[in-house]
Amino acid sequence: MAKVAVLGYGTVGSGVVEVLEKNRGLIEKRAGECLEVKYILDLREFPGDPYEDKVIHDVNVILEDPEVQIVCETMGGNEPAFTFSKKALEAGKSVCTSNKELVANHGAELIALAKAHRCNYLFEASVGGGIPIIRPLNNALTAERVEEISGILNGTTNYILTKMEKEGTDFSEALKKAQELGYAERNPEADVEGYDACRKIAILSCLMTGKTVDFKEVYTEGITKITPADFSYAAKMNRTIKLLAMSALDGADGGGEPGCLAAVAPYLVSKDNPLAGVNDVFNAVFVQSNMLGESMYYGKGAGKLPTASAVVADVVDCAKHAGRHIVCLWDEEKLHLEDFGRAKSRFFVRAEAAKEEEITAVFGAVEKISLNELPAEFGFVTEVMSEAEFAQKHEAVSGIITRIRVKD
C-alpha cells in the first residue's frame, strides 16, 4: 500500500481525495497497489469533513514519515509550495502537482532534484486541467520533433468569452460565474490578463525544446479590453474571439541562435476553425510535429474533478515507478525567445469614421466593415504584417479605437 499526502485542501486538493476514494478499486488495479491518503495539510480545520482526522498543520509530519511515498501539492502559488516540494523530493518522495506557477518558475530545478533522489516531479494537471497533454508530449510524441504548440489554455477566459458571445453577458458577471464554478484562480487577474495561459504555454515550450523558457518574456495580452461591440464585428466576419496561446520553434534554420516565438493574446478566429467550437471551460491544444503532423488534445481545462483526475493519474504513475525516475527532458539552460515584434498576422482594426482618410493614407484602401449600431466608426482588416510594422502604422495615425489580431 502506498501512502499519499495532500498539501492544500482547497478545490483541487479535495478533488484529489474524492477521486482517490471514488475510483479506489480501479486505481488500485492500475497502480498495482492500494493508494491511501494518510495526511491532508492545510492551515484550516475542517469540522464535519469525512477526512477531518487526517488534517494536519505541520508539514514536517509528512516529510518525516517514511510511509508517505507520494505528495500531491495542490496549494498553488510559489511559497511555501516550492520549499515543501523541494523538501519532499529531497526526502525521496515523489511530488504530483497542479501548480503551474511553481512549475513555470522552477520546473527544471524540481525535475533535476527528483532525478537526483530517484523519485518524480509530475505536473500533468498544471496545463490544460484534465486534458492529457504533458504525458503525450513526454511519451506518445517522444519520437517526434515538436515544432509548434497552440491553442486555448485557460478555462476561465474561454468560459467568459463564450458567455459574452452566446448570451451577450457582461464581462464581470461572466467572471463571477466562472469563480463560483471553481474555474478561476484565487486572483482572477492571472486568468483575465492572460498570465495563467502564459505560464502554461511557457511550460509546454520547455517540454517542446528541453530548455527553460522564462514566462516573463512571453508577450501576453488578456481579454479585459474585449467588448460586446468586438463580438458584433466578429459575428459580421463569421468569426469569434478566443484567447490563444502559441509557441513555435523559430530561427533554427536561419543561422541565428535557435529559439522560440511565443505569445498569448485574443484572436479573431474563423467559425470554420475547430478552435471556434471550443467553448465554456474546455481547452484545446494543437501540436504540430514532424512525423505525425497535427494532433489535437481537447477536454475540460479547469474545475475540481477534471484537474484532480490529472493529479491522481500522476500519483498512479509515481506508484508504478517507485524508486525509479521517469525521464523528462527539461534543462535549466535558458531558451532564447524571439522578439515578438517579428511575429506576423493580419489585424482587425476599429477606427473613428471621421479619420477614414488618414487611415487609408497609412493602411491603403481598406475594405470597410460597418455596424448599424456604431455609425461613428468602422472596422477593417489589414494585410499580413509584422507586429513592429503594425505598431509603426498605429503610431502614424490617430483615430484607432482598438485592434485584435486575426488568426488565419
Q: How far is CA 100 from CA 161, 199, 227, 307, 350, in A?
A: 22, 7, 29, 12, 35
Shortest spacing between CB 330 and ligand HSE, in angstroms? 19
One residue of 301, 316, 337, 390 binding ligand HSE per CB under 6 A: 301
Least Å distance, CB 127 to ligand HSE, is 8
Report CA torsion sign: 31, 296, 385, 254.
positive
The position carrying cell 508517505 is 68
302 contributes a contact to ligand HSE by CB under 6 A: yes
Q: Whole-number minimum distance, CB 319 to ligand HSE, in Å?
A: 24
Among 185, 193, 317, 377, the residue binding ligand HSE under the rule CB under 6 A is 185
The CB-of-281 to ligand HSE minimum distance in angstroms stands at 7
Beta 239-250 vs 146-152: how paired, if at all? antiparallel
| Distance from C-alpha of 105 to C-alpha of 255, rounded to nearest angstrom | 30
Stretch that binds ligand HSE, among 23-31, 87-95, 184-192, 254-262 (CB under 6 A): 184-192
What CA dihedral angle connects 181, 83, 108 and 157, to 10 degrees? 20
The verdict on 183 binding ligand HSE (CB under 6 A) reads yes
d(CA 82, CA 103): 9
| Residue 239: CB minimum distance to ligand HSE, A | 23
Scanning 144-152, 181-189, 343-351, 361-369 for contacts with ligand HSE by CB under 6 A, the matching segment is 181-189
Farthest CA pair distance, the chain: 75
Residue 268 near residue 406, CB atoms below 8 Å:
yes
Alpha-carbon distance of 114 to 299, in angstroms, equals 29
Which residues lie below 8 Å from residue 14, measured CB to CB, with a gap of 6+? 304
300 pairs with which residues across the strands? 282
Catalytic site residue from 3, 38, 200, 242: 200
3 belongs to the catalytic site: no
Q: How many residues lie near ligand HSE (CB under 6 A)? A: 11
Nearer to ligand HSE by Cβ, of 69 and 156: the residue is 156
DSSP strand pairing (146-152 vs 282-289): antiparallel
Segment contacting ligand HSE (CB under 6 A): 182-190, 264-272, 308-316, 332-340? 182-190
CB of 300 to ligand HSE, least distance (A): 9
Spatial separation of the C-alpha atoms in residues 384 and 138, rounded to whole Å = 35
Integer Cα distance of 261 and 337 in angstroms: 6
129 near ligand HSE, judged by CB under 6 A? yes
Are the CB atoms for 95 and 110 separated by under 8 Å? yes
Using Cβ positions, the residue closest to ligand HSE within the complex turns out to be 156
Instruction: Supply the minimum distance, in Å, between the C-beta of residue 185 and ligand HSE.
Output: 4
Q: Give the torsion through C-alpha atoms of 46, 306, 199, 408, to 10 deg.
A: -150
From the list 73-81, 180-188, 263-271, 325-333, the region that binds ligand HSE by CB under 6 A is 180-188
DSSP strand pairing (377-381 vs 344-352)? antiparallel
| 376 CB burial (10 A radius; 0-12, 13-18, 19+) | exposed
Least Å distance between CB 156 and ligand HSE?
A: 3
φ, ψ of residue 375 to 5 degrees: the values are: -70, -20
Burial of 265 (0-12, 13-18, 19+ CB in 10 A): buried
Binding mask 186-215 for ligand HSE (x = CB under 6 A): -----x----x-------------------
- Binding to ligand HSE (CB under 6 A): which residues in 135-174? 154-156
- The residues of the shown chain that bind ligand HSE, judged by CB under 6 A, are 129, 154-156, 183-185, 191, 196, 301-302
- Residues assigned a catalytic role: 200
